[in-house]
Structures are given as structure tokens and as C-alpha cells.
Amino acid sequence: MGERLTPGDAAPDFTLPDDTGAQVTLSDLRGKRVIVYFYPAAMTPGCTKQACDFSDSLEALRAADTEVVGISPDSPDKLARFRERDGLTITLLSDADKSVMTAWGAYGEKKLYGKVVEGVIRSTIVVGPDGVVTHAQYNVKATGHVARIRRDLGIE
């Protein structure tokens, strides 16, 4: 498992394919605040709730010069189906080999129904316009999380 990021850390750069296959690079978003969130699997109940909450908040977030990037190990094709099925407007990226998740501390051992398993740790990291981490939250709950991050960032 990679080290968990903490405020003040430089956010590791990455380039990943989105749901259309286009490459998205984190450093290309410099100058804006970026919410990078990691989720286990598209089209599951918790991940759908979280993605829909971020999509519903995207207009307010963008008004505050903030972008949202959701990352999962799903293929671009599955992400495209997820976007279409749920009308998602956020950027969805595929980290099939989990290298970005690992570098960001969002992949490793976690408890699932009382058992220790290896997998995606639902996490949200906020990267400032300068590429430095301002907030890092691991093992977050899908429900209510977007409202909390908006409060933390002072975005109504």
C-alpha cells in the first residue's frame, strides 16, 4: 500500500484514460482546486450515490473554481455505461492497474464486513491550485460525504 497523503504533500501527478479513452493529466488542471476521489466500483449502490452527489454539486463546485475527478479500477467502457446510466457529469477515470490508487494511499488493506481484505479504500483528496494537498480523507462514507467536503471547502 502507498503512503497516505496528508495536507502539505505534493499531489503525485498522473495521466489516466477517461470514459471516452481520452487521457487526463492532473497537472493540466493546475490553477484550479481539484477534488480527486477514489471509489471501488462503478454501478454499485454506494459508488452511484457518491458519483450522483458529486455530479449534482458540480455547478456549485465549478463556480468555486473546483473540478472533480473520480477514479476507480473500472474499464473506460464500464465508466461510459456508468455515466450514461446515471447521467453523470463529473470526470471519471480508469486506473485499471491501481498504480495511481496505490501512489495516493487509496488501495490496500481494509475491513469489509469484519474481514481484512485488499481493495480500493474510498478516499477523497483535495488538491490546491498549486498541486499541493489541502485535505485528505480516507475510509469515507459514500452517503453525506459530498455535503461534508463542500462544508470543509466553504462551498455553499
H helices of 8-144, in order, are 45-63, 76-86, 99-103
φ, ψ for residue 82 (rounded to 5)? -60, -50
H helices of the chain, in order, are 45-63, 76-86, 99-103, 145-153
Give dist(CA 3, CA 25) in Å, integer: 21
- Helices (runs of H) and strands (runs of E) counted in the chain: 4, 9
Please pick, among 34, 35, 42, 47, the residue that the annotation labels catalytic: 47
Determine contact, residues 104/117, Cβ cutoff 8 Å.
no
Amino acid present at 35: I
Our answer to whether residue 52 is catalytic in this structure is: no
Residues in the chain: 156
Which residues are part of the catalytic machinery? 47
